[in-house]
Structures are given as structure tokens and as C-alpha cells.
Structure 1
């Protein structure tokens, strides 16, 4: 009898599994006919990956989207469809992009990114929150990035940039070999953000194996999930949440939770005020906000502080690396930049001040061109809250449709940027900018959900760039890559290979 019961149970289990697989396959086949049924241009998908075959393993998703952007752009359609476990609309028309990101933002407030507040509290941050939760956090955090806060942080950033200069000089004095630029840029941004977010001396420049930089590298280079699996759990967020799936590595999460807890307890116990990001978080924790009479919890503080560190650490170090690489390949641009910096130092009595940093339009243009050629994110993502009629057509973007504005494709479109592979800061001369559509440049997104930390990211980039160019010449060496390609397994657009450059000191290094 027992054996018969066991056989019956096994039969039932097998039937459930087979039925579940059949149903999932049925749903996926139905979903993969979505764009065909609506007569929207698309690429035929393959079960089970849709258009993701090879993505995250052989190449970064940006290359797939860029090739499709080029294929459909010449047809004149406003958007086309792809399948990433589910249907996604890729926007081609810049007026439509502007409507989605700005004019009709109320219908496209959400990004649809994955987080798990219960099992993975650090994942529930401003970048992943949607709806009213996002609005509440955004309104609270905005004051942390005011001009006044940036000016207060500036001396800390310049001090760390000077230390970067000293460390690089020590490195090339000991060894005349090429320098792994991205390693030093990561150590610099780790120290800057660690100071500004935690009020902690991370000591990454002095010790490349310091805990903050080690955990920062782990969070980027050895992520918990592959891009393909992350796309899967993002597509089925409710199921993933029920199953308790995490997106952040346990060791990384434990380290940052502990570091934040220690910082909070130390500041509250000793009544320390630094007028930095953490102070603002503690104000929200200990004092009810007058806007909505609701304080932030410790987990919310930890999540925002962590994302502030991770976002500023990776994005700024990558941009600096890409920028220095392009300047090494384009010595005329580098020399012009250095001459501009020399004149600015003379104008400001040889003092690198916040006002001087803001008074360097050519340096700003160099960074803009870097972010044009190497945007940090391949796309800007949104979800339609309700059915949306596309202006000038009879098409409707239906409720819950995922939408991507292809930033990399737009930034490399010869219609907006002739000879797009050329590095040319003059594309951002004021008169040239006026000629282009406002949505032709989207390194930080656009509209109410644009990157809240853009200004502090630019400040640490400008500060490092000015300090480095004032003291070093950057040159291509035999170790340098021919071109920068993107790592297939990382979400953001990060170099696949190390970026080596030769440094030549311009004078006795004082970095002041």
C-alpha cells in the first residue's frame, strides 16, 4: 500500500512539473507573438531567451540593441519591439522619448527594476523603488545634492584628488611601466564617496585591498546573478519576491550594513555633525519630515547610503577611465585642456576652487563627449502605467509595457553626431548643442526621474581630471587596448579589459 501511495505521489509530482513547464511554454509562446499581433516591427524571438541569445555571455546587451536601432531607424518607425523574457518597446523617435520621459511622465514614473525589501533590504533604494515610495524618497533625498552641499564637500574631494596624484607619482617613480587606470580611478572614487556618504576614510588610495574598495569591486565584477538571470527575475518580480531571491551578494550586503550601522551609532552617540549625506539621512531618521510626517527607517537609510556609494563609485571611475583613454589617443584635445587649466589657475591665483571648477567649459565639454561616446547605461527604462496613444499614429503602448530609450544608439547616431566614433568635445559648443534635439543626449536620463546624483558625480570627475591633467601627460602605450569594449556580464557599460596608459610627470609633483 505504501509503495502504491509513493508511486501515486511521484506521478502527481511529475504531472505538476510537466503541466507547469507546458503552461510556462504556452505563456511564453503567446508573449512572443505580442508584437506580431500588433503589427509592430520586431525581430522574431527564439524560445526561451527571446532576443537575448548570447547576451550576458558573449556580448553586452548594448551591442544587440544598437544593431537593431540601426536596422529600424532608417524605416521611419517611432519604436520597435524586442523580447527579453517579455515584450519590450525600444523608442526611436526623440519626440516620443521626450513625451515619455518629460511631458507625459505621470504615466511613465516607474522603472520596473527588481528589489526585495524583506530579504535584501539594500536593494530597496531610490533607483529600484517605484510609485509613491519613489516619490517619498526622491523628495527627501533631493536636498542632499544641492549646490550648497556640493560646495561643502568640494575641499574633501580636492584633498583626495591631490592624494591620487601623489600615489600615481609614487607608482611611476618606482616602476616606469604603464598604469592600470581604472584601478586607480576606482580607488579615488571609493575614497571620495566613502568620505561624502559615510564620513569614513576608506584609505583605498593607500591600500588597494582596503575593505571598501574590495567590496566595491566584488559588487561590480562578481555580481550575484548573470544579466540574463537578473532580466528573468525582473520580468517575474512577484514570483522572485515570494521565493526570497536576492540581487546583492551576501558578503557585500553584510559589509555595508555593518559599516552603515557603525557610522550611525557612532555619530548619534557622539553627536557628530559633518553636514554630509549621512547627516541628512540621520535627520530623516530622528526627525519627522514636515512634508509627509514620516521618518526613514534604518534599512531605508542603509539602502540609500549603499546605492549612493555603489553608483558614485562605479560610474565616476568608469567615466574617468574612458576620458583619460580618449585624451591619451587625442593629444591635441589633451593639450588644449591642459592650456585651459593653466589659464584658469592663473585667473584664480593658483587656487583650485569650486568657482574655478565651474568656470571650465572646455573641461565640461570633454566630459560630456566622454559620456556621449561611453554612456554609463545602455538604456533609460520605464513602464507604462496605463494605455498610451502614440502621437501621430494609430498605435497604443499598452498598460504594463516595458519601454527602453536606447541611449547608446542615440549617442552613436550619425544623424545627431556625424562620425560618431570620433572623440570631439566641440560637439558640445553651445551653438552645436542648440542645433540638436534635447533628447539626443541622455547620459543621466531626463525628466523628474533623471539621475539625482549627477552633479556630485560630475564634481568628482571634474576635480580628478583637472588635478591629473595639471600634473601628468597621459599617453597610449604598448599595453593599451586598441579600443574599449564593454564587459558582457556587467549591467552598466564598463570596460571589458584593463585600460593601461603611460603617465609622464609634467613637473615636480606637488598636486596643489
Structure 2
């Protein structure tokens, strides 16, 4: 009898969990919005959540199936979101009627240090004030100075690669996991340009900055599980006082920044990095930002840049490997640029003049969007209408919006043969053909990424040195199809980004 009661209790509990997992799935039915049938717990992202495909592939395929609807319902796990498929409507949400959609959704519910002080989490006027404080940090003039610091890291990376090549003059190639290589480069560049810290992860891969950084980018299954739980069951997450990030490692970054700021103020040290710019911005800002609020911006900069920067360069090299004619044309531009320097160092201004390099990076960001979607939260009731004034949807306060960037970038109506890597889309002759709000690699409107110049600068600078010195070819470990092999949030394949580097003669 006891066994039967236990079985019935378990069955009842399982039924309750199931009911909870589908509890939000009637949302769009009651509000007359088309949607695809979601899976329990996982909504419309089951395949990527279960690590079967990448988020980019999942979201692109969903968009292509539903693009005939200008507005469609989408379930991100249990969260109902209103997906905007039309470029004109995207412009409305992100720009024209921004006051109705000024904030991002709160992805995780936690009281962990720094997380609620990051600019991407801040809301309304607090976000606006911090945006105004940070904007001067990422001007062209500031990037110009910061690029000199990047050059040192580029040189160390090239020294490391030359050591891997037994005899560069022999022309014999060697295999490299580009993701690991560029993770180290990204860490070193962020250390010097954001935290005022000089490290060389190629000579010392066990350095504290790199190892702590690796632990903060969802590199373990346990951390990914905690993040998913915080999004799926925030009340359970907070009830058990769980943390997404290791508090000691977050404290490491806090002490790193605060000690650097204190030392510079005491000794009058200046350096063209983010800490220096934050010190100046804090002095000039009318707001009395706390130390944690200032440090949080360095932290989110690290968190957003570390993996995205290394992914961007890794994927660009993968496309150059797959398209040798494009690689050769880029090499020609790089050689011409080197000759124009007359033995001098590469500068930010020279990088900006490399038009084909810009085309290659722009097409990489189109085909392999680093952020496959962006979100907004409706702050007050709003009626969305099309160009003819027809009502499409009535938003309520608190409704979540998703903009399918990867889907729009992969739409053949805007980019013919979207899976083809074609930098010519961004040539001077053709880029005017790109419809506004169909190319949004760094988001759209006032909430777009502040550090887009920084990401471009890092990727172009590193590619310049790499293509100048090496030819990128396939190796035994090179994946056949990144689109099929990438998994989950990251576009990094499980088997790595292995490629062959052949020294140029």
C-alpha cells in the first residue's frame, strides 16, 4: 500500500511539474498571435538548449519558417516573446518608439555582486546616465590610443606562432586550434586595454587573469546549468541562494580595478586604457557612481568581449580557409598596407582605410551573427501597426520582444544566397543596396553595443598580422561544416577550430 501511495505521489508531482512546464503556452492563443507549438520546458529552443544545434541555427530556422508573419509568438524556454520579423517594424521598436521599449529583459535573477550594476542590466534613466558616461570611452580618438596597446599583444601572438613553426623559412605548416589561440589573445588584449594589466598568455597560459576569465564564460556544464536554472526557475534559484558566478573570482576583478584606480590617483599615472577612461568619465559625470558601478562596466566589457572577440576572429579565419580566393585578395591588401607603412607600426587610422578587410569582417558578422537575437521589454501599453496603419498586435506592459538578427541576416530576400560568404555585399558599389535594419550585428537603436569599434579594431588588427605572415589552410582537424557542427550559445564546434598555418615566404 505504501508503495502505491509513493507511486501516486510521484505521479502527481510529475504531473504538476509538467503542467508548470507548459503553463505559459496558451499566451498567444488567447491574444490571437500565430505561433509554433512549443516543447514542454524548452519552448521553441529545445534543439539548442539540449546542445544538438547552435542557437543561431535554431533561431534562423524558426525565423525562415515564420517570416511570412510580420509578428509571431516565440517561446524562449517557458518565456513567451513577441518576435518582430519585419525590418520596418524592427525600426519602430528599436528606434522610433524606443520610449515604449527602452530596456532589456532581466535574464537572470540574482543579487550577485556587479551583475545588477552592468549597463546592459540597468534600466530607464539609470541606464541612460551610464550610457552618457560611457559613450566618450569608445570614441575614435580613444580607440586610436588604445590600439597602441593592442599592437603589443598582436606582436606576442605572432612571436608565439613563429615559435610553433620550427623553421618559418621552410614553408612547412603546423596545426593550431584557433579558438584557444584567440582566447589567449582576447584575454591579453582585454587585460591591457581594459584592466591596465600586462600579461602574456602565450608565455604563461596559467596566469590568473586568463584562468579566472575562462571560468566566467560558461565554460563548464555546471555553470551553464546554473544560468539555465536562474532563467527557467528564478524563485528556486534565489531560494537556494545559488550563484551563476564564483564570488571569489568576481571579487578578483573588483580588487584588480579598484587597486589600479587607487594607484593611479595616488601616483598620477595615466595610461590609454579603459580604467583610465573610466576614472576620467567618473570625474566628469554629474552622477556619483559607486566603485561597484564603475567596476561593473569593466566586468561586462570583459564578459561580452572575451568570447565574442575570439569567436569573430576564429570564424573569419575559417571563412578565409574555405574561400582561398578571398584570402588571397585580403593578403594583397595587407601587403600593400604594410608597404605603405615604410617600416612603421600599424595604426588605428591605417586599419580604417583597409576597405577589403572591412568587407570581410562585415560579411563574417552577417553570416555568423555573434548575438543571434536581441530583446526588449514593453514599458507601457503600445499598439503596433504596419505602414498602412493596420493593427498588428496590442502590447501590454511587461511583454517581451525578440528581434531575430540571425534570421534576418540569413533571409535570401535581403541577402541572396545567405549561406554563401560574399564580402562583395559590403563593397562601396553594393552596400547601399542593403535595406535598413536587415544588418544589425551589434544590435539596433540606442541600446546597440557601445564597443562595436573595439571589436572591429581587434579583429582587423589581428587578421592583418596573421594574413601578412601565414597562409591559412585546412588541417586534419578542420571541421567540414561549422553550420552543422556548432552547438548551443557559442559558435565554437566541440572539436575545436583546428587549422593549418603555413608561413609565407
TM-score normalised by L of structure 1: 0.87
1:191 pairs with one of 188, 191, 196: 188
Deviations 1:51-70 (A, max 9, x none): 34343223333333222211
Match in the other structure for 2:498: 500
Instruction: Show the counterpart of 2:75.
Output: 82
**1:156-196: per-residue Cα shift (whole Å, max 9, x none)?**
11222122111111112289531111111111111111111
Q: Quick one: which of 203, 206, 209 aligns to 1:206?
A: 203
State the SS of the aligned residue for 1:156: helix
Q: Which residue of structure 2 lines up, in the alignment, with residue 249 of structure 1?
A: 246
The 1-side partners of 2:496 and 2:53 are apart by 17
**How far apart, in 2, do the equivalents of 1:106 and 1:94 lie?**
18
Counterparts in 2 of 1:301 and 1:19: CA distance versus 1, 3 Å = farther
Aligned residues: 487
Is residue 383 from structure 1 mapped to residue 366 from structure 2 by the alignment?
A: no
1:300 equivalenced with 2:293 (yes/no): yes
2:402 corresponds to? 404
Give matches, 1:189-338, under 5 Å: 189-223=186-220, 230=227, 233-234=230-231, 244-284=241-281, 287=283, 289-290=285-286, 294-338=287-331
Deviates more, 1:111-120 or 1:426-435: 111-120
Write the distance in 2 (CA, Å) between the matches of 1:228 and 1:37: 32
1:178 paired to 2:172: no
Once residues 186 and 219 of structure 1 are traced to their aligned partners in structure 2, the CA distance between those partners, rounded to angstroms, is: 13
State the Cα deviation string for residues 478-504 of structure 1 (Å, max 9, x = none).
221112256545x44444331111111
Measure the CA separation in 2 of the matches of 1:468 and 1:505: 10
Equivalent position of 2:422 in the other structure: 424
Q: Which residue of 2 aligns with 1:463?
A: 461
Q: CA deviation at 1:439?
A: 1.1
Q: Tell me the distance in 1 between the aligned counterparts of 2:418 and 2:14.
A: 46
* CA offsets 1:448-472 (integer angstroms, 9 cap, x no match): 1110011011111111111111111
Question: Structure 1's 226 and 159: CA in aligned 2 closer, same or farther, altered over 3 A?
Answer: closer
Matches within 5 A, 1:111-130: 111-114=104-107, 118-122=111-115, 124-130=117-123
1:141 aligned residue (127, 134, 137): 134
* Root mean square deviation of aligned Cα: 2.8
Question: 1:259, CA displacement in angstroms?
Answer: 2.3
1:119-149: CA deviation from partner (whole Å, max 9, x where unpaired):
3324531122222221121111111111111
User: Could you say which residue in structure 2 is the equivalent of 1:373?
Assistant: 367
The whole-number CA distance in structure 2 between the counterparts of 1:118 and 1:441 is: 35
Is 1:47 equivalent to 2:40 in the alignment? Answer: yes
For residues 351-410 of structure 1, the C-alpha deviation after alignment (integer angstroms, 9 at most, x for no partner) is 323221111111000001111111111101111112221213332132211111111111
Decide whether aligned partners of structure 1 residues 223 and 152 sit closer, same or farther in structure 2, where only a CA change above 3 A counts. same
- Taking a change above 3 Å as real, the CA distance of residues 473 and 246 of structure 1, as seen in their structure-2 partners, is same
- Structure 2: any 5+ residue segments left out of the alignment? 1-8
Label 1:431 to 1:121 Cα distance change in 2 as closer, same or farther (>3 A). same
The verdict on how the C-alpha distance between 1:460 and 1:406 changes in structure 2, with shifts beyond 3 A counting, is same
Q: Would the aligned equivalents of 1:116 and 1:245 in 2 still touch at CA under 8 Å? A: no
How far is 1:265 from its partner?
3.3
Residues 194 and 200, structure 1, Cα contact 8 Å, conserved in 2: yes
CA offset at residue 226 of structure 1?
6.0
Cα shift at 1:25: 6.8
Contact kept? 1:116, 1:123, Cα under 8 Å: no
Describe the SS at the equivalent of 1:198. coil
